[in-house]
Amino acid sequence: MYILQKNDSVIIKDLDHFNLKQTLECGQCFRFYTIEVNKFLIIAYNKVLVIEQKKQDIIFYNTTIDEFNTIWYKYFDFDNNYGLIKDRLQKTDKTLSKAIESTSGIRILKQDIFETLISFIISQNKNIKHIKKVIENMSMTFGEPIKEINGITYYSFPTIEQLKNANEADLRACKTGFRAPYILDAVDKIANGILDLKELQNKPTSYVKDQLTTIKGVGDKIADCVLLFAYSRYEVFPTDVWILRIIETLYLNEKANKKHVQQFAKQQFGDLAGYAQQYLFYYGRENKIGK
């Protein structure tokens, strides 16, 4: 792979192990819109990015090398060697090997910690489409306009400071429902210094998980999503209703509970369990496994 700049775009040529559509649609992120086939608009880190994939080339529109280096390089996890990761996973497991054949372009994004936390609090007992809508509502209500494209204004995800001004009625107006007090508790703990999301970056995974689950409405699964998608802890295995059914169907051939599935994933996939989870999740949903 190599990078070049052309007018106001940055282009990555000959990039392996990357599929933009798979990476965005595997359920790890919620702030993106489809413009055309393989062309998307993403909102992240207070930026609006139009990005397109043409075979093995990725075009980042209206950006600079500097912005690419400081934001998008890390966001798309270009530091990690996916060839190596997939080799290791495919060698140890035939079922996963088959799943990876059709999902091999997924990358685990490195997302903003606060946004990921609030987004997955919202996610509980909702489908992905509705999660996206509620996050959009919150951004329009509490965030700031970043950029206007084709007459549509795109808003940043609200900061902690901006959400401090929110009350429960405001949040319910965004259709958060019973999750409104959960969001308020998260904002309260962070704003008052009881939780320091940045400091947790340097702590062991189990400690971070213990801290995150002190927030009301944050349990095992939501904490694992924040650990995987924002703290880059690739050993966790977020276990939701989908992945539960997928593991039951593809591996266990019997009913299981979430604790059982977590133990299984740890011994089966080890320190790469998080990657395995994303490949299996996308594969399972595409093929309606267990439904």
Partner DNA sequence: GACCAGGGTAACT
Partner DNA sequence: AGTTACCATGGT
Told to check if 18 binds DNA by CB under 7 A, we report no
Instruction: Tell which positions 105-134 bind DNA, by CB under 7 A.
Output: 123-131, 133
Out of 78, 269, 281, 283, which residue is the one contacting DNA (CB under 7 A)? Answer: 281
Q: Print the SS3 string covering the chain.
A: CEEEEECCEEEEECCCCCCHHHHHHCCCCCCEEEEECCEEEEEECCEEEEEEEECCEEEEECCCHHHHHHHHHHHCCCCCCHHHHHHHHHHHCHHHHHHHHHHCCCCCCCCCHHHHHHHHHHHCCCCHHHHHHHHHHHHHHHCCEEEEECCEEEECCCCHHHHHCCCHHHHHHCCCHHHHHHHHHHHHHHHCCCCCCCHHHHCCHHHHHHHHCCCCCCCHHHHHHHHHHCCCCCCCCCCCHHHHHHHHHHHHCCCCCHHHHHHHHHHHHHHHHHHHHHHHHHHHHHCCCCC
| Region binding DNA by CB under 7 A among candidate stretches 65-73, 156-164, 191-199, 212-220 | 212-220
State which of residues 47, 172, 203, 266 lies at the interface with DNA (CB under 7 A).
172
Nearer to DNA, 144 or 168 (CB): 168
Examine residue 262 and tell whether it contacts DNA (CB under 7 A): no
Q: Does 168 bind DNA (CB under 7 A)?
A: no
How many residues line the site for DNA (CB under 7 A)?
A: 39
Which 216-245 positions form the footprint of DNA (CB under 7 A)? 216-223, 225, 238-243
Give me the residues that bind DNA (CB under 7 A), please: 26-28, 123-131, 133, 172, 175, 177-178, 213, 216-223, 225, 238-243, 257, 259, 277-278, 281, 291
